[in-house]
Amino acid sequence: MRREYRISWNDNQLKKLKSAVRRYNNALRRAAKADPLAHIYLPQEVSYKELKSSITTARALKNTVNRLTRVTRPKALEPVQQQDGSIVTRYERHEYAVLKSVRERKKSMRAKAEGVVQPTAGAGNLKQAALSRDTRPVSTLGAGAIRRFIETQSRLLNMSNEEQVRRYYTNYMKALWSVFGGFPEYDADIERIQETILAMARDDWKALVKAIEDSPSISYIYGPEEREAKMKKILGYWMNVGAV
């Protein structure tokens, strides 16, 4: 996984973002002026200051500028009614399709790399479910669901490699402490796992993400014997992965 460096914000980059924000907001204002009911379905205007603070790499800047610029396409802000009666714009439907395509392509590549095959019958396991295709037509989703998807997937798409690994690490350690925290006999084991993960983060971010995804499940355990067996399995996994 290639390291991405934080954006340094030169004059040209600042101008690109300012121009994209201005064009986006102006397009919304023109649409609102043309239709008295536009406030029902138009997306919200964006803040230059907030967007700038959320952009950490040149790649994220490019994605953001392209996304904002697409709102100026002909008929982009025309309303479209969903099956549930809610209303979105053609622009939002298009952004949903773009982001969904990116997500589905990543899932497909990961499934191929890891040899995950979808079951011909039944629900399958958790990994198969996570990598299964999302075949829902955009028309079946409500306006709120579409906008939440766009917000979440845009944020994930724009994360730097470092931010993605930090997210994986934080969620994993939080889950580990939620199950084994409060039992002092496991503190040393948790610290050893943490040290292994941090060492992997320095050496190979991509391998760390895969290691976390493939690690034994962390679920709440009530009995002390089950808890001990679970920690032994998790610790053994990380010691083995870290030794490779």
- Between residues 237 and 163, which one has the greater pLDDT? 237
Q: Residue 244 pLDDT more than 60? A: no
Tokens of 169: 């690490």
Q: Residue 18 pLDDT more than 90? A: yes
Please say whether the beta carbons of 147 and 99 come within 8 A.
no
Q: Residue 114 pLDDT more than 90? A: no
Q: What angle do CA 179, 181, 187 make, to 5 degrees?
A: 120
> How high is the mean pLDDT of the chain?
88
Least confident piece of the model among 4-8, 25-29, 138-142, 190-194: 4-8
Minimal CA–CA distance to 183: which of 220, 214, 233? Answer: 220
User: What pLDDT was estimated at residue 243?
Assistant: 65
- Between residues 10 and 219, which one has the greater pLDDT? 10
- Point out which residues pair with 87 in neighbouring strands: 81
Q: Residue 4 pLDDT more than 70? A: no
Span 34-88, pLDDT tens digits: 999 999 999 999 999 999 998 988 989 999 999 999 999 999 999 999 999 999 9
Quickly state the pLDDT bin for 203 (edges 50, 70, 90): confident
- Between residues 148 and 244, which one has the greater pLDDT? 148
Please say whether the beta carbons of 16 and 62 come within 8 A.
no
Q: How far is CA 200 from the centre of its chain?
A: 21
Q: Would you tell me how many other CB atoms lie within 10 Å of the CB of residue 11?
A: 7
Span 135-145, pLDDT tens digits: 999 999 999 99
Q: What angle do CA 86, 90, 93 make, to 5 degrees?
A: 75
